[in-house]
Amino acid sequence: MDTFWIILTGILVAACCSLLGCFLLLRKMAMVGDAISHAVLPGIVIAYLLAQNRDSLPMLMGAGVFGVLVTVLIETLHKQGKMQIDAAIGVSFTWLFAIGVILISLYAGQVDLDQDCVLYGEIAYVPLDTWNIANREIPRTVGILSILLLGIIAFIVLGYKALFVTTFDEVFAASMGISTAFWHYALMSAVSFTTVMSFEAVGAILVVAFLVGPPSIAYLLTDNLRWMLVLSLLLGILTAITGYYLAVWINGSIAGGMAAALGVEFGLVFLWAPKYGLFFQKKKKIQNMF
Amino acid sequence: MIQQVENPALELHNVTVTYSQKPVLWNIDYTLPAGKLVGVIGPNGSGKTTMIKSIMGLIALNSGYVKIFNKNLSELRHRVSYVPQRGSVDWDFPASVLDIVLMGRLKTHNLFKRFSKEDKEIALECLKKVKMDHFIKRQISELSGGQQQRVFLARSLAQEADLYLMDEPFAGVDAATENAIIELLKEMRTQGKTILVVHHDLQTVREYFDWLLMLNTRLVASGTTEQVFTPNFLYETYGGKLSILAQVGELVKEKSHPLREKF
Amino acid sequence: MIDVQDLIDFFLLRDPNVRWVVLGIMLMSAASAVVGVFAYLRKRALVGDAVSHAILPGVCVAFLVTGIKNPWILLGGAFLSGYFSLWCINLISKHSRIKPDTAIALILSVFYGVGILLLTSIQNSGNANQSGLDKFLFGKAAALVYDDVLVFSFFGVLLILVVMLLFIPFKVMAFDRDFAQSSGLPVNALDTVLSVMTVLAITIGIQTVGVVLMAALLITPAASARYWTHNLRIMVILAAAIGAFSGILGAFVSYEWAKMPTGPWVVTFLSLIAVVSVLFGTHKGVWAKLRQLHRNRLKMLEENILKCFYHLGEQDHSFTIARSLEEIQEKRLFELRQLKKGLKRLTRKKLLLLHADKYALTDQGMEEGKRVTRIHRLWELYLTKHLHLASDHVHEDAEAIEHIITPEIERELEVHLNFPRTDPHQTPIPYK
């Protein structure tokens, strides 16, 4: 039974991240996603400290704010501080992450996090903390992530046209009176909360893998945004399952297994995708020469 | 020479705009008549794109104001269409030609709803006008430069506006496409639309435009083509920046000096 | 709280137990910062982040293949893995529609994930040799042994030497790659050298601060230095100093408080220095700009007051009449507190004289007032003649620009306009 919950958690994390990640990729904000996933650490530690029990949704919401805050920090350093954007990203998230690690060291006894967990999570522990819903024991993480996934799907379905136009042609969207700032921050908030909720299960880095991996693979396989979203979702689910079994086989971290699975999938598609794969492109080049 | 008109489609009054703290547009003042094909010409960096963006409210004005059909932009956004430069967008985006053109049908009230059948019909009509109706399902990453420009134009047409602002629509476009586009623009003019085109090819100015705006950080001239497309105005437009103005502009940037006092 | 004597002793490296470790940390931080300057200039900050994460699988594979925990072998594995990740990023960016930032994030997370998978697998296998592999992950500066320090110092010095040796070609390449290539510099080879050095710095430096924070060691000193200079040589030296200084401070913190990890504190000090630089840096800092804005405002205020006096003088055909605050306000409305401040400053500068409650122009003050008035009218004329503006549109512009025109530009204006007599409103222009 535990295996079921663990795999389900992986699937839910993958699903949430793969969907949002499509927009991050198309907006060229993959590294901002990376920054957010690191920057929420101090927020999470503070939330754990203040909440004392792990059941505190509002506290985790507060942690999510840190993620949005880092995007504001990056923009401020870049626009007002005149720092180049890649440096602004690097300086911002490393600082926040460092603060998070210091906090963990300071309050090691009171906070149920250790450095390992932070970096790669421990999804195996997920089934232990449960809610009681309709007389069944459902792991808390699964419950939260399910709600989050529904929220993300609703966000994307309702906001599809706005996300489409603000991503493809920001200037045109602004000229039509659409608030590009609103959709930008809405997306960043969604990424931030997803990171916080996924933290326990897969840690910071693997959130990035799911934010970027399945969308990248889907991007090489289709020219249609709707299909890209669907493919990305399916790939995420596939990765969660294969990654789990890979990890079990080699007796390693489950999150690591999932990332490794992503790597293999990406490699295959990168090389052999019809139309956008490397081999196909080379073949076309040779054909064009004759 | 700056010809002023009554009941202008577009009016800029004493507009000054800075970019990265350097003045890019200096005291631009003109009125444009409705129903004309207007060309905007000037050397690189003369502020043409900045002017279009300021009219669309995408860049803040340091001074002055913009009036469209005597109103503010916010009151009649639906009557204005902006066609940005082709290079401002990533054409690797996963979308079809029809997807892009349909975006022209977006209004504030249908942002969260599906497009209606009428929307789709209008989009198809516009694609037919630019002769891209056989490409509706084509992925935009597979389009040539001319085809991309036509898609942008179709999107713009789908907005059914009265004032069109186009930034370099003929750049990097094949001759056949250029002809098709200018024919379409002339037809739009006949229907009473006002079209502003940022243009770079002096050879075709006389043939294309009834009215010209000649820009070189400041407005050199605004009037009918016969009146202003003359050697001395051209010389002023393209003969290099006004040295003193340029020096003052540099100082303004260096010292972060305001362009208008606020006391 | 902090025992000052402890701090001084620490900085003077009195304690033999820590002396070498601290030196090693300082050296490595400085070397990373130096190499990082070039990563910063090429806008490759985040590539450094990716490589930092990518060394992990190399360490594990090296261990798995050889079975021993020899630092050189592990470093070799780390280096190869890091370099391979660079190659992958380039491959993906160049040969697919995937954009560079996505490629970086992808390689970063996948390589790292594989590394974690292997590391945990090794840890779970109960292999006695494997403990300590995770210092690559977190940077256990306190657990560094003498051998590690030797390695640090060796590579630290090596990196700095190479930068010094190749400084000129690196400099040319950083600022204009095309020019470098056309001048015959082997840009590709130099690129490779820089890449190798970056991966090396990362491979070694990670043991101080750990994977996630390594990017900070590379980029933050460079970003900070940028706010103090645009001279490359000074920037490199400054970055190295910032790196070394943060290194020793971070080491001190974890020395005094055993619970504190070194790495994050090094990064915290680096970041604080960055914030200070952004705010107060002489070259691009926020504070410098605010000060300039303040200076602008004062200058405008003072010159407007003098101009007002001059206009009153023109009106009454006498420039020596003393004016009261009310008279001034009637001619031109000032905010009262500003006016008083301006009057006081002008009196101090001997441009105005105070007689009872009234102020009068001194000779110098009159010349100043005349000068600003002249510039105002010249500029208005320039605008009407050369920008073809209507004469009722030029006043506002001149009100702002009159304060910024230098004597040289003033001269040019006079010549250009042919020493005109009157401005667009037919008011005479007062020459000296």
**Mean pLDDT along residues C180-203:** 89
Q: Which residues of A touch C120 (CB under 8 A)?
A: 120, 251-253, 256
pLDDT digits (tens, 9 = 90+) for A111-123: 666 666 666 666 6
Q: Is the pLDDT of residue B263 over 50?
A: no
Exposure of A185 in the CB half-sphere (CA atoms within 13 A):
10
Collapsing DSSP to helix, strand or coil, B11 comes out as strand
* Ordered strands of the B10-19 beta sheet: B22-32, B10-19, B63-68
Q: Please, which residues have CB within 8 angstroms of residue A290's CB and are 6 or more apart in sequence?
A: none
Nearest CA in chain C to A23: C102
Which pLDDT value is given to residue B139?
A: 93
Contact A246, A261 (CB under 8 A): yes
Q: Which DSSP symbol is given to A4? A: H
Q: Tell me the C-alpha distance between B260 and B252, whole Å.
A: 11
pLDDT digits (tens, 9 = 90+) for C205-239: 887 788 888 999 999 999 999 999 989 999 999 99
- Report the range out of A83-97, C312-326, C377-391 with the highest average pLDDT: A83-97
pTM: 0.90
**Mean pLDDT along residues C402-408:** 92
> How open is the CA angle A67-A201-A93, to the nearest 5 degrees?
25
pLDDT band at C348 (very low <50, low <70, confident <90, very high): very high
Query: CA torsion sign, C367 to C371 to C377 to C382?
Result: positive
Contact C125, C197 (CB under 8 A): no
* Ordered strands of the B163-167 beta sheet: B80-83, B163-167, B194-198, B37-41, B211-216, B218-224
What is the Cα gyration radius of chain B?
19
Q: Determine contact: C390 vs chain B, CB below 8 A.
A: yes
Q: Is the pLDDT of residue A256 over 70?
A: yes
Which pLDDT value is given to residue A289?
A: 82
Q: Tell me the C-alpha distance between B162 and B196, whole Å.
A: 11
Burial C142-173 (b: 16+ CB within 10 A, else e): bebeeebbebbbebbeebbebbeeeeebbbbb
Contact A270, A281 (CB under 8 A): no
pLDDT digits (tens, 9 = 90+) for B14-43: 999 998 888 899 999 999 999 999 999 999
Exposure of C130 in the CB half-sphere (CA atoms within 13 A):
18
- At residue A191, what is the residue type? V
Pairing, β B163-167 against β B80-83:
parallel
Burial A191-217 (b: 16+ CB within 10 A, else e): bbbbbbbbbbbbbbbbbbbbbbbbbbb
Which pLDDT value is given to residue A108?
A: 67
pLDDT digits (tens, 9 = 90+) for A182-215: 999 999 999 998 988 887 777 777 889 999 999 9
Q: At what angle do helices A160-168 and A2-26 cross, to 10 degrees?
A: 50
Q: Which residues of B touch C381 (CB under 8 A)?
A: none
Q: Is the pLDDT of residue A267 over 80?
A: yes
Q: Which of C23, C1, C25 is nearest to C267 (CA)?
A: C25
Integer CA distances (angstroms), C295 to B255, B260, C276, in order = 9, 16, 22
Q: Tell me the C-alpha distance between C110 and C172, whole Å.
A: 35
Q: The complex's ipTM?
A: 0.92
Query: How many contacts, defined by CB atoms under 8 Å, are there between A and B?
Result: 69
Q: Tell me the C-alpha distance between A159 and A230, whole Å.
A: 16
Burial B3-13 (b: 16+ CB within 10 A, else e): eebeebbbbbb
Integer CA distances (angstroms), B93 to A70, A252, B32, B96, in order = 27, 38, 36, 9
All partners of chain A with 3 or more CB pairs under 8 angstroms: B, C
Interface of A with C in 84-113 (CB under 8 A): 84, 86-87, 89-91, 94-95, 97-99, 101-102, 105-106, 108
The answer to whether the CB atoms of C219 and A219 lie below 8 A apart is no
End-to-end CA distance of chain C: 67
pLDDT digits (tens, 9 = 90+) for B98-131: 999 999 999 877 888 889 999 999 999 999 999 9
Q: Which residues of C touch A78 (CB under 8 A)?
A: none
Candidates A28, A29, A161, partner chain B, best to mutate (most B CBs within 10 A) = A161
pLDDT digits (tens, 9 = 90+) for A74-108: 999 999 888 999 999 999 999 999 998 888 888 86
- At residue A154, what is the residue type? A
Task: Supply the mean pLDDT for chain C.
Answer: 88
Pairing, β B163-167 against β B194-198:
parallel
Q: At what angle do helices C167-175 and C187-209 cross, to 10 degrees?
A: 100
The answer to whether the CB atoms of B257 and C403 lie below 8 A apart is yes
Q: Tell me the C-alpha distance between C348 and C339, whole Å.
A: 14
Which pLDDT value is given to residue A128?
A: 59
CA distance B258 to chain A (A): 17
Q: Which residues of B touch A222 (CB under 8 A)?
A: 94
Collapsing DSSP to helix, strand or coil, B93 comes out as coil
pLDDT digits (tens, 9 = 90+) for B199-210: 999 999 999 999
Over pLDDT 90: what percentage of chain A?
52
CA distance B240 to chain A (A): 30
Nearest CA in chain B to A177: B77
- At residue C133, what is the residue type? L
Report the 10 Å Cβ neighbour count for C191: 13
- At residue C347, what is the residue type? T
Q: At what angle do helices A225-250 and A2-26 cross, to 10 degrees?
A: 140
Give me B252's structure tokens: 């303004």
Pairing, β B80-83 against β B63-68:
unpaired
Q: Which residues of B touch A169 (CB under 8 A)?
A: 84, 88-89, 103
pLDDT band at A158 (very low <50, low <70, confident <90, very high): very high
Burial B142-160 (b: 16+ CB within 10 A, else e): ebeebbbbbbbbbbbbbbe
- The secondary structure element, H or E, covering residue C355 is strand C352-355
SS3 for C52-94 is: HHHHHHHHHHHHHHHCCCCHHHHHHHHHHHHHHHHHHHHHHHH
Which pLDDT value is given to residue A290?
A: 74
Q: Determine contact: A157 vs chain B, CB below 8 A.
A: no
Which pLDDT value is given to residue C174?
A: 83
**Mean pLDDT along residues C108-116:** 92
Give me C255's structure tokens: 């020395």
Q: Tell me the C-alpha distance between C278 and A92, whole Å.
A: 13
End-to-end CA distance of chain A: 60
**Mean pLDDT along residues C10-29:** 78
Q: Tell me the C-alpha distance between B17 and A234, whole Å.
A: 49
Q: Tell me the C-alpha distance between C50 and C66, whole Å.
A: 26
Q: Tell me the C-alpha distance between C308 and C333, whole Å.
A: 10
Q: Which residues of A touch B93 (CB under 8 A)?
A: 26, 167-168, 225
